[in-house]
Every structure is written in C-alpha cells, then in structure tokens.
A and B are shown apart, each in its own frame.
Chain A
C-alpha cells in the first residue's frame, strides 16, 4: 500500500494532528515503509482464530454502583489552560 501526500493529509485530519507541509513527503515514505513491513501479517492464515483482546482473557470487572470519588474539580482545573466558573474554555463554537 503506497501512501501519498493526500493520504497523509487525510489521516492527519482524522487525527486532528497538525503536521508541517514540508514534513508530509517524509511521513508518506515512513508510513508506506511501516505498512509494507506489517504486510507480513498476511503471510499467515488466521481463519477462525479469535482476536486476542486480553492476554489473560479477563473481562471487564464490575463494581457496586457507589460513589467512590470526591469532587476534585478545582484541583484538576488548576492544570487547565483556560477555565471560567468551573468550565473549560475553548474558542467560540456556536455563533
């Protein structure tokens, strides 16, 4: 699978990841190499093999539906770039 500049731009957009225009050819090359490398996976027949989601086959643990954490909003928002009245601020979304 050969990826070109427009593929890289599309993927970067999906990931909301800013990349410099001059770096795009290098990313296209790296990604093409990496995908060519993982192509090896197709050399093995995996028909009927269950995908391994957890090495110990553990499933999600449930707990009683009780309050276990206290409100730490002030503490956690101390590290936020911009807050007001306990809310996170972002650029205006709705006119």
Chain B
C-alpha cells in the first residue's frame, strides 16, 4: 500500500480495504526498516500515531471522516507539537518538549491526519542541503551519497522513499521547493500569509511560509486545503477564504500564458536540467498553453538581498534563545552574560552562528541603512519585476534548482556557493508569491524539478497546472530503488 497516493489511501480507508491502524503500522514499519539509511526522522511518534489511527478508524466507522482522516503524515520538526520534542534540528532545542501545538499541527490533527513523526531539517531551517542539522545529514533516497536539499530535507526524502504519503515543510528561501526538486516530489510554497506561522519556529519572519510535500499535485491540494487559512494568532496571516484546491485540479490549460524569464536560463544552469525543463514546457504547449519570454531584470540581486534580510531577521528572532525560559542552558554560569553567551555558543551550530553574526552586523549602528534598508529597497524592485511580468503572463516557469542533487560535503565549507543553489527560489520569497516544484525528469538518475510561480493566492492554479502535467507525465510516479 506504500505506493498508493493519499487520495487512493483515503478511498481504501473509506471502503474498509484496511484500517488506519494497519496503514499506520505499515508506515511505521517502513520507517524502522529504511530510515536508518536516510536519517529523515528526528523523532518517530509511534504511540501517539497508533492512538490517532484508532480514533480515525472510529471516525471512519461513524461516517464523520474527511479526506485526511487516518492518513499518516510526517511533520517538519519546526512545527510545535504538544508533548512531543520539537528540535528545529538544533542542539538548542534538543530538550524542548513543546507545550502547545502550532496552528498547522492543530489543523492537521483536527482533520484526522495521523502524525507518525517529526522530520530532520537544517538547523533552524538555515541550509540548502540538510547538512547543518544537529542530528546529522539526511540522505537523498535516489543516491545516498547526495544531499536531499534543504532545509526541509527530511520531509522531502521521507515522501520520496515512500515512507509516508505526505509531509509538511517550510520555505524561507526555497526550503520546500528545492528539496522537492532534488528528491523528485511535489512541493508547494504558498503565498506569504496563506498558512499560519503560529507555533512554527521563526527564522526570517517576513519570508517564512509553511506548505505541503506530496507525490502528486493532487495529494498536495488535499494537504494544503487542510493547512491553509486565516489565524488571528499570526499577525501576518491573511484573512481571506481558502480556495477549494481539489475542485479546481482539472481546469483546462487551454490559453494559459506561460512566461519564461530569460534570467532563469542563463549561466549557472546545468545543461541537463535546462533541457528537461524545455521538454516539460513543450508538454504545456501541447496542453494548449502559449509561451513567451519575459524578463525579471533584478533576479541577480535576489540572493544578495536575501542574505541581508534573512540573517538580519534571524539574528533578531533567535535572540529569544537565551538559556533562561526554554532550550539549552550552559552549566555553571558565572553571571548572566556568561549564561547567555555560553548557552547560545553551545546550543547553536556553525551555520546558525554565521547568520546571527551577519545579521547582527547588518543591523548594528551605522550599517542599518547600508545593508538592511538597501536590501528591503531592492526587494521592492524584485517584487515590481514580478508584478510587471504578471501583467503579461499567468504563470512563470523555470528550473527549481540550477542542478540536480549535489554530493554530501561538496558545498559545506563554502557558504556563498551553497546560497547560490537557491538562486531561482529566493526571489519568490522576497516577493511573497506562491510557487510549486513538480518532478520533470532525471539526469544521471537524479530528479529534476520544474518550478511554476503564480501571482498572489494563485495556489489553486499552480496545483491545477501540476495536476494536468502529471496526467501526461510519469516522473512523479517513479520511486527510488532499494526502498521496496
């Protein structure tokens, strides 16, 4: 049953082909068998999962089940889960048992979904390879010597290896889309404010956004429908009804206007990736879409702007970790200053420290205008590029990442080269737009992702485009060998 989609599993549960408890046990068994190699889970919540599955079975019997009732899912370890360790991939929170549920957690559990565990991730979501996790790197199931991408690498790898049908992620600069591309799964980053950030441990608050991972756009539509919605407890949540993502999946693509930004197909793009994207675009022409070249002239400034804005906001957000109220505390502190300095020094890993240092510098007296203010101005230009593009086209397509999965350790010592692996995803966060990555081919046995960027709140259209493409392609149905 592990090869079945969420939608197929839900149908089987409804007709009693098997129970949620059986399905959940099968999932847990697969995690036990395969995850030692992948390291995609930080915590497996077996007891809670089985209790939730039994409750789901009762709901199915009582006829009160919804589309997610009894469906196992893996939850990125950035979302607070009441009574369950929420580590954010950091030693700082290795001892943190969250005392409350994030809104996303609450919504998924209320929808009857069964959480089987918390997934590994780059420390505090800072990374593009999952190598910065305190719990060690996640391995890409397509080739265990390569990275799964990051920061939501565990969530992407767990879905790719068919350990779970769906999982959650968060995306600050590409952390859903890039691992989705590198692991050959579907991942969607919603419009800023679409999914509540309450209880989602903050990295860069003006960029962070939660979203789904799934094997198909159809499954992602079901999960996003349950995750999205206004939340008064998140001050940046948008008060706007959630579209029926499933109902719009089959809309025709006749007349769809696709823009290809010339900046996304230039130097730095791996040839095999570029070729696969061109083939995918051809499919869309066959489906009735028209394709035009567009320009996003400030694209080259998006990574530099991001590496001011994100560290600045991270240095501010992570100041809450002080060894006083929760998280790691250094032993035998001499005084308060020593307590802060050593608790933070021991609790944070080197990439997190780098970003705190960059952010602190950028926000320090005399440098604010030169760095943070300048970056926010450039961010405005980047958003305007997109608004001008969307005056001509409905969606923008291009590669999700410049290459397929790279080797573990390949970029670990070179932060700037690592940062450039998010070159096509970062501008989307700066502009607050939604975008999806869908599987669109392979190079040397490693998956390639196609990114589709939409206008604000166009999640339904993106899922529709993904679904239509997945009706005429089979990249998303392929699964890595060795996980049978």
Contact = CB atoms under 8 A, between A and B. Distances in A.
A82 B373 contact: no
B380 A18 contact: no
Interface residues of B, number: 73
A20 B342 CA distance: 10
A34 to B, nearest CB: 6
Most buried by B among A42, A43, A46, A81: A81
A11 to B, nearest CB: 5
Contacts of B335: 91-93
B456 A56 contact: yes
Contact size range, A: 35 or more
B348 interface: yes
Interface in B295-349: 298, 300-301, 303-305, 307-308, 315, 319, 322-326, 329, 333-342, 344-346, 348
Interface SS of chain A: helix, strand, loop or mixed?
loop
B413 to A, nearest CB: 9
A84 B300 CA distance: 53
Given A91-B334, A93-B336, A17 B324 contact: no
Contacts of B433: 55
Interface SS of chain B: helix, strand, loop or mixed?
helix
B87 to A, nearest CB: 13
B265 interface: no
Nearest to B457: A56
A4 interface: no
Contacts of A49: 377-378, 380-381
A12 interface: yes
B378 A23 contact: no
Nearest to A53: B376
A22 to B, nearest CB: 12
A12 B356 CA distance: 8
B236 to A, nearest CB: 7
Interface string A32-49: 011101111111101001
A83 B130 CA distance: 35
B378 A46 contact: yes
Interface in A1-25: 3, 8, 11-12, 14-20, 23
A22 B83 CA distance: 39
Nearest to A38: B304
A50 B378 CA distance: 9
Interface in A36-76: 37-44, 46, 49-56, 58, 60-61, 63, 72, 75-76
A40 B300 contact: yes
A8 B305 CA distance: 22
Nearest to B309: A52
A41 B308 contact: yes
Contact of B333 (A43, A56, A91): A91
A78 B334 CA distance: 24
B357 interface: yes
Contacts of B324: 80-81, 88, 90
A39 to B, nearest CB: 8
Contacts of A75: 99-100
Across the A-B interface, the 4 shortest Cβ-Cβ residue pairs: A18-B345, A55-B432, A51-B376, A81-B329
16 contacts: A8-B357, A17-B344, A17-B345, A18-B346, A31-B354, A34-B358, A38-B375, A40-B300, A52-B379, A53-B376, A56-B192, A61-B235, A80-B326, A82-B329, A92-B335, A93-B335
Interface of A: 3, 8, 11-12, 14-20, 23, 27, 30-31, 33-35, 37-44, 46, 49-56, 58, 60-61, 63, 72, 75-76, 78-82, 88, 90-93
Given A14-B360, A55-B432, 12 more contacts: A12-B357, A18-B342, A31-B361, A34-B415, A35-B361, A38-B371, A41-B301, A49-B378, A55-B206, A75-B100, A79-B325, A90-B324
Interface of B: 95-100, 191-193, 206, 232, 235-236, 238-239, 298, 300-301, 303-305, 307-308, 315, 319, 322-326, 329, 333-342, 344-346, 348, 350, 353-354, 356-358, 360-361, 364, 371, 373-381, 383, 415-416, 419, 430-433, 456
